[in-house]
């Protein structure tokens, strides 16, 4: 408040996390450090995995294998390859616009319009 920032209207909290089915503990040394996660996998991959796989408000099991799988199959291969292939092919062949040529499964369309 003293800094002049508006206070958050809502806080979204997670449940408890286990790691690969085990409780996080100092003796096991299996605590997940967010900054290391972001450094290794990137901010998008860390956020995507947490949002995609773990339901906010519920307990969840954190898995490095699953995080890597999400990053590689969904972000890098599924999404990244699509963007890369389309943009390279389009650029090489002089495509200079995007067009909604066909009515499609529109995730962004507003029902109220």
Would you tell me which residues interact with another protein (CB under 8 A)? Answer: 10, 12, 41-45, 47-48, 51-57, 68, 71-72, 74-76, 78-91, 93-102, 104-112
Q: Helix or strand or coil: residue 78?
A: helix
User: Which residue reads 């996660």 in tokens?
Assistant: 37
Ramachandran region, residue 94 (left: φ > 0; alpha: ψ -120 to 50; beta: rest): left
DSSP string, 49-61: HHHHHS-TTS-EE
Name the residue nearer to another protein (CB basis): 34 or 78: 78
Pairwise CA distance, residues 14 & 17, whole Å: 8
Taking the complex as a whole, the smallest distance from the CB of residue 31 to another protein amounts, in Å, to: 19
Taking the complex as a whole, the smallest distance from the CB of residue 30 to another protein amounts, in Å, to: 17
Taking the complex as a whole, the smallest distance from the CB of residue 25 to another protein amounts, in Å, to: 23
Q: Which helix (H) or strand (E) holds 48?
A: helix 43-53
Name the residue nearer to another protein (CB basis): 2 or 83: 83
Name the residue nearer to another protein (CB basis): 25 or 77: 77
Taking the complex as a whole, the smallest distance from the CB of residue 99 to another protein amounts, in Å, to: 4
């Amino acid at each position: 408040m003293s800094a002049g920032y508006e206070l958050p209207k809502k806080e979204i909290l997670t449940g408890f996390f286990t790691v690969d089915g085990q409780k996080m503990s100092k003796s096991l040394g299996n605590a997940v450090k967010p900054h290391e996660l972001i450094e290794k996998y990137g901010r998008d991959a860390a956020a995507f995995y947490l949002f995609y796989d773990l339901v906010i408000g519920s307990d969840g099991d954190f898995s490095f294998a699953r995080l890597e799988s999400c990053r590689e199959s969904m972000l890098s291969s599924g999404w990244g390859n699509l963007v890369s292939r389309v943009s390279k092919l389009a650029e090489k062949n002089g495509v200079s616009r995007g067009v909604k040529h066909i009515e499609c499964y529109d995730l962004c369309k507003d029902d109220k319009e």
